[in-house]
Amino acid sequence: MGVDSILQGKKFLITGSTGRLGREICLRLEELGAKVIPIILKGYPALPKRIEWSSTELPIKIYTKEDLEKLEIPDFIINFHWQVDRTKSFTDQLVYEINSNIHQQTFFWNWLLNVKPAKFVNISTIKIFSELNQNPISSSSIPKPISPYGIAKVTAENYFNALFHKSGIQLTNLRLGTISSYGEVPTQLCTQLFNSIFHNKKIRINKGHTSNLLYIDEAIDLIISSAYYHEKDNYLIVGDANLNEVISRRFEEIATKKLNAEFVDLNPGNVDPIFISDRDILKVEWTRSYSLDSMIEMIIKLNH
C-alpha cells in the first residue's frame, strides 16, 4: 500500500483548519488518501495568515447550528480550535479563552455527540504543566498550570473528558510542545534566529535554558498517528531538549552567518522542565523525522 492510500476512505474533520498546524495537517491527510473536512469555528480567519492555503477542500465556516447541515459525518475529529488574547488581565484572559473555545462552540460539541465519530483528538499543550510540576514530566503527570492559557487548556481537557464520557467516542488529549515551521508566529525561536542572521534584527537569547523544538512535518504525522492508530487517553509530544545557545550556534554554523544576539538568562533560578515524549510510541513507517540540523536547514530554505 502506498503512502497516498494509507487513509483511503477515512474522513477527518479538522477544526482550526486555517491555523498553521490545521492548514498543514489538511494537506498531509489528503496526501495520505483521507477525505478532509476543514472547518472554521467563529473567530478563526477565512484563510491562513502567513502562508497559502493548499488543500483541495476549502475551509467551511461553521458559526451556527444551521451551518452543520453542510457537513458530512466524519470518522475522526482533530480539534485545533483555540483563540487567545494576551492583552487581557489574568482573569479576563481565562474567561475569554473558556468562553471562546468551549462555551461558544457548544452547538458543535453537541452535534458530535449525536453523529458519534470514532475518535476525537483534542490538541492540548505542555503549558498545562509548569514549575509546580516535578521533573520528569510525562503524559501521566498531573497538570499544574500557572498561566491563564494552561488553566483554560486543562479546563478544555476536563470538559471533553466529561462530555464524551460513555458516548462511545474515543477521546485523546494530545499535549503538544513548541512547533517550528515556516510561517510560524514571528516570536518563535527559529524565526527570531532567521531574522537576526539574515535581516540583522537584534534579539535576546535565553541563555542556560533549553527549548524542545519539533519540526511541523514530524508533529503533524505524530498527531495523525495518534488519531488513527493509538488509543491512550493522553499523549505528550515534544522535541529533544537543546540549550538555546546550542540551537543558536548550529543556526549560525549552518547559515554560515553571524547572529545579532545578546545571550541573557531571562529566567534566573528557574529549573527547565524535563519531558518524557511519546514520539517513539506514535511513530509509524510513514512518519517524517527531523534532527536539529535538518529542522534548521528547512527553516532557512523555506524562509528565503
Per-residue pLDDT tens over the stretch 82-103: 999 999 999 999 999 999 999 9
In which residue ranges of the chain is pLDDT below 70? 1
CA distances 72 to 1, 67, 115, Å, are 26, 12, 10
CA distances 11 to 48, 64, 74, 97, 283, Å, are 22, 22, 5, 28, 21
CA dist 234 and 153 (Å) reads: 13
Please, which residues bridge with residue 172 across strands?
121
CA dist 211 and 208 (Å) reads: 10
Which pLDDT score is estimated for 27?
98
Burial classification of residue 115, based on how many CB atoms lie within 10 Å of its CB (0-12 exposed, 13-18 middle, 19 or more buried) = middle
Place of cell 491563564: 148
- Per cent of the chain over pLDDT 90 is 97
Pick the CATH number of 3-181+213-240+273-289 from 3.40.50.720, 3.40.50.10490, 1.10.150.120, 3.90.25.10: 3.40.50.720
Which pLDDT score is estimated for 1?
60
Give the global pTM. 0.96
Name the residue ranges covered by the structural domains of the chain: 3-181+213-240+273-289
